[in-house]
Amino acid sequence: MSEHERDNRSESALHRFLCRLTTFQLVRACRMKHSYPLLGILLLAVTCTLALPVINATVIYPAYTKIMVGTFEDFARQLAMHTLPASITNTKLTHDVLNTKHFLADIYRLEVNFGLLEVKVLSPEGFTLYATNPDDLNTLDTDPALTDLMAKGHMYSRLVENESLSPQGETATTSAVYAYVPLMRDDTYLGAFEIVFDVTGPKQQLDRFNTYATYGIILICTCLVGIVLLLLYMESSRALAQQQAQAIRTDVEQITRHDIKTPLLGALNGITYLENYTKLDQDQMDMLYHMREAVNTGMDLINRSLDLYKMETGRYQYDPKELDILAVCRRVLADLSGLALDMGVSMRATLSGNLLKRKDTLIIAAEETLCYAILSNLIKNALEASDKDERISIAMTANGNFTISIHNPRPVPESIRDTFFEKFASAGKRTGTGLGTYSARLMVKVMGGDISMDSSDDNGTTITVNLPIQPRT
């Protein structure tokens, strides 16, 4: 195989790959919620591209042709009434009636002045009394249906196209309108005029207009299809970039979870060694205690992050045990009281409409760490979203399920309402990561519950969590 052939084969393979990639991206974009309007426009554009030329050819163009023929039909009626002498207007047409010099002269002027191809005068029986072409004189109309139609006083016209050879041997097409004008006296049929107009020029103009209109429609719709496809491609590229960034971020998280535990374990071993094998005064012991607490907190965060990863991948083993959920709630409120005080925000917790008391208890089957994390994340988010002197409400009820509703007076920004529980969805918080509500949704799902958010400018934001009192099997 030559080098040129290998290059061609490589380029062909690359082209097929890019085509498959583009198609794949467009398909992925079609599945995105925000692409539905673009898909609607694309479908409309494709439909218009296919349908409008057909409609133009089958409906619009015939309608314009009918209007043109009707215009010449009205003109033929006016010419017939103008040409026919007043003395014979109400007389049955025969050879004797028409055999006058004035009538023949008027017919001739009619043909010359208006460029008519042919004029015929027909008797009520269908015989040709006068014709531009002498060969047609005294011939009988062979279309009885047309004779019957005119006998009822109805005008009739039709467009006829004839092909002929020019002196140069080229084929020329001539368009003509045949208009039949009946003459009536009351309900009596007196005869008819057949007037033939040369409409080659108007017909060619109409054909050009139809051609330009068809090409224009196809061009506009094709451009619209191209624009929509470009927008879909851009959206699919953006979605693919987000997915790639998400994959990279997930990989980094896994590496970080794994690698950061090693130095933390080393720090814990060092603290243990200092506590057991060195002489320390009270201040040093207190310092080591706080260092151990900080390292343990870091380890807990890493372990919780690992748990979230297992939840994302469906490998988390949920192990519910009986616990007092109200005690967990009181502990969360106590832990966040300092933050609330610093922010100037008050918290009010109720159970079935009454203020939560220290003696209140409610036993459910769940994991305490998950319950604490859910309540802590959601209440902390509500605090951070509130302004000074505002209050957040924590309302709890137990009726088959344990339900807790956390309300703050501030609405969620419209830009993230649809993605509120998605990963890294955050707005308006300088230190927000967008993981609090995401992890809460994961943990609630693992526990067999559900979580929802309702937000409006008038009523603020309420997040409602429903947890089963007994684990669902």
Q: Clarify whether residues 271 and 327 are in a common domain.
A: no
Is position 62 within any domain? no
Count of structural domains, the chain: 4
Q: Rounded to whole angstroms, how far apart are CA atoms 451 and 373?
A: 14
Q: Burial code of 357-395, b = ≥16 C-beta within 10 A, e = fewer?
A: eeebebebbbbbebbbbbbbbbbbbbbbbbeeebebbbb
For position 354, which CATH number holds?
3.30.565.10
For position 141, which CATH number holds?
3.30.450.20
Global confidence as pTM: 0.46
- Helix/strand/coil percent split, the chain, to 5: 60, 20, 20
Q: Clarify whether residues 428 and 325 are in a common domain.
A: yes
Is the predicted pLDDT of residue 306 greater than 50, yes or no? yes
pLDDT digits (tens, 9 = 90+) for 380-401: 889 988 899 999 999 999 988 9
Q: Clarify whether residues 167 and 275 are in a common domain.
A: no
Q: Clarify whether residues 382 and 275 are in a common domain.
A: no
Is position 53 within any domain? no
DSSP-derived secondary structure for 50-100 = HHHHHHIIIIIHHHHHHHHHHHHHHHHHHHHHHHS-GGGTTS---HHHH--
Position 25 confidence tier, pLDDT thresholds 50, 70, 90: very low
Write down the pLDDT at residue 429: 52
Q: Clarify whether residues 340 and 457 are in a common domain.
A: yes
Is the predicted pLDDT of residue 441 greater than 80, yes or no? yes
The phi-psi region of residue 186 (left if phi > 0; otherwise alpha if psi is between -120 and 50; otherwise beta) is left
pLDDT digits (tens, 9 = 90+) for 68-110: 999 999 999 888 888 877 767 778 888 887 777 777 788 888 8
Q: Clarify whether residues 349 and 419 are in a common domain.
A: yes
Least confident of 35-39, 71-75, 190-194, 406-410: 35-39
Q: Clarify whether residues 178 and 89 are in a common domain.
A: yes
Is position 432 within any domain? yes
Q: Clarify whether residues 15 and 124 are in a common domain.
A: no
Least confident of 18-27, 226-235, 278-287, 459-468: 18-27
Mean pLDDT estimate for the chain: 81
Last residue of a domain, one of 290, 310, 330: 310
Last residue of a domain, one of 268, 284, 310: 310
Q: Clarify whether residues 439 and 458 are in a common domain.
A: yes
Is position 209 within any domain? no
- Give the residue numbers spanning the domain of 458: 321-468
Q: Clarify whether residues 184 and 259 are in a common domain.
A: no
Q: Clarify whether residues 300 and 333 are in a common domain.
A: no
